[in-house]
Amino acid sequence: MKLKSLILGSVAAAGLSTAGFAADLGVLTSLDVCDSLGISGLTISSADNCLAISGKVAYEFNWGDYKGNWAPFALAARAGTRNVIDNDAGATADLNNDWETKVETWLKFVGTASSDFGPASATIKLKSITQTVFTNEGAPTVGGDATTNGAGSNGAWIVDEAFVQVGDTTTLMAGKKGSVANFGDDEPFNWLGLFNSDAVDKGVMFAKDHPRTGGHVIQVVSSLGNGVTVKAGLENLDRDSAVGAFGGFYDGVTAAQSAGTLVGVVEYAGEGIAAHVTGLAGGILDGVVEDWAVHAGVTGTFDAFKIRAAGAYSANNVNDTYWNVLGSAEGNFDMFTIALSGEANGGTNNGVALANQAGFGASVGATVTEGVRINLGGRWFDENTDVANTEGYQVAAQVVAAVTETITLTGEIGVYGSTRAVVAPASQTDFYGKAELGWKPGGQFESSLGAEVHQNGAYKVTFKASKEFK
């Protein structure tokens, strides 16, 4: 006991002596500021600021005969043109190949320090897109083109995000960034998804960008506890008349009139339940609400089952309306997964009713052996429920096999079809097949090589490679 007491006393004395010596020399004895703020990854720290750095480079190359200017077959609009690739019908022989090359890059810096109100940060995200597209080998005599698209100008770096943020359970944000609007909990569970859902960015949605969100914003997000979060934002403050007149959803509304969107969100995340309601009022800066919209979704997870319901509604001040609803369910039974989904939408244009549309989809997935999974699915869509022969469909089968821990092989065969009458050379069906070899060796590097061919003569080979760091 005496020896133990002597050792403990010596250690304590040495610790006090070292601490005093360190204090005399001004040595920092606290945790690194990034650790104290709970920030990990690629960081640089000073005495009171932590700079987190992240970024990504993604490359994609496509080659083949896939950018034709004729309808591949008479599918309903939602079911056809957004899902089937075309060959260049009518193109001069030896001048019908298409290709495109794209490099997308972003670099993000987040500088964070502590404050009396919680962490205070400034975010800057730079982005560049360089893309060159050739149709029909760029030959204008056969309707081809060579176009280049970029963020700003081709390959130019632009400021994609630049905003400040402060707070913990309640956060204030201001600057250039994305929206606080929640448009989630609305994607179908079935493997192929749904046709109209694909057309509006995987879910239920009103006309794209109406009301407009994000851009220059002032936002507040607050957690109320018990899984409830509320959000409010004044967004789209940077619209100006130089952009020109709006078309499409608006009739004669200028860009300046559409400036300013008020966003409000209530979210809940609890045991097995996720739900939200998002409301938007657009164009409020001129004192007149040009358009407004509501988006809601709920997902429930109960042991082996999941159910989802979602809906969206929008309107403007020239009697245009749009509604869209979706329901989906999924069950997991040992090696099988079964999913069913349905959707419907409609609306008015200048007060005149548009055609009501509806669709459904179903799929069965099975893990047949370790690392091998089979998916079978189909989807159907009716462009006008009051008129005969306006339907389109897709049926497909897929095999996903993990060849090794880093290599995955995916194969798919299927057919798109239509009940519409057709005129040659179009067809009521388009059988297709595609395969992809994916490689993920680690280090956030991903690459893939894929190819697809279609009955209508179209074909495409795609190579992708990307690396993210954070």
Q: What is the pLDDT of residues 150-194, one digit of tens each?
A: 444 467 889 999 999 999 999 999 999 999 999 999 999 999 999
Task: Note the pTM of the prediction, 2 decimals.
Answer: 0.85
Predicted local distance difference test score (pLDDT) of residue 313: 94
Predicted local distance difference test score (pLDDT) of residue 207: 63
Dist CA 124 CA 110 (whole Å)? 7
Residue 24 DSSP label: H
Domain ranges of the chain: 1-30
Closest CA relative to residue 164, chosen from 176, 152, 182, 155: 176
Q: Looking at the predicted structure, is the pLDDT value of residue 364 above 90?
A: yes
Q: Which of 33-37, 249-253, 362-366 has the highest mean pLDDT?
A: 362-366
Q: Which of 229-233, 270-274, 346-350 has the highest mean pLDDT?
A: 229-233
* Total length of the chain: 470
How far are the Cα atoms of 116, 187, 403 from residue 300, in angstroms, in the given order? 38, 13, 34
pLDDT in tens, 201-254: 889 987 655 788 999 999 999 999 999 999 999 999 987 655 444 444 455 567
| Mean pLDDT of the chain, nearest integer | 84
Residue 5 DSSP label: H
Closest CA relative to residue 164, chosen from 232, 116, 111: 111
The more confident residue out of 143 and 196 is 196
Following CA atoms 168, 174, 177, 180 in sequence, which dihedral angle do they give, to the nearest 10 degrees? 60
Closest CA relative to residue 208, chosen from 256, 234, 243, 247: 247
Name the band, by pLDDT with cuts 50, 70 and 90, for residue 2. Answer: very low
At 334, is the secondary structure helix, strand, or coil? coil
- Average pLDDT value for residue range 282-300: 93
How far are the Cα atoms of 65, 185, 194, 456 from residue 137, in angstroms, in the given order? 10, 42, 34, 20
At 238, is the secondary structure helix, strand, or coil? coil
Dist CA 400 CA 435 (whole Å)? 10
Predicted local distance difference test score (pLDDT) of residue 139: 64
Predicted local distance difference test score (pLDDT) of residue 67: 77
Name the band, by pLDDT with cuts 50, 70 and 90, for residue 15. Answer: very low
Ranges 18-32, 53-67, 435-449: which has the least confidence: 18-32
Instruction: Determine what percent of the chain is predicted with pLDDT higher than 70.
Output: 79
Q: Which two tokens stand for residue 300?
A: 């429930």
The more confident residue out of 88 and 111 is 111
The more confident residue out of 96 and 365 is 365
Ranges 64-68, 167-171, 211-215, 433-437: which has the least confidence: 64-68
How far are the Cα atoms of 71, 131, 193, 204, 248 from residue 196, in angstroms, in the given order? 18, 28, 9, 8, 18
211-228: buried (b, 16+ CB within 10 Å) or exposed (e) per residue?
bbbbbbbebbbeeeeeee
CB-CB contact of 224 with 397 (8 Å): no
Following CA atoms 174, 180, 181, 186 in sequence, which dihedral angle do they give, to the nearest 10 degrees? 160
CB-CB contact of 375 with 363 (8 Å): yes
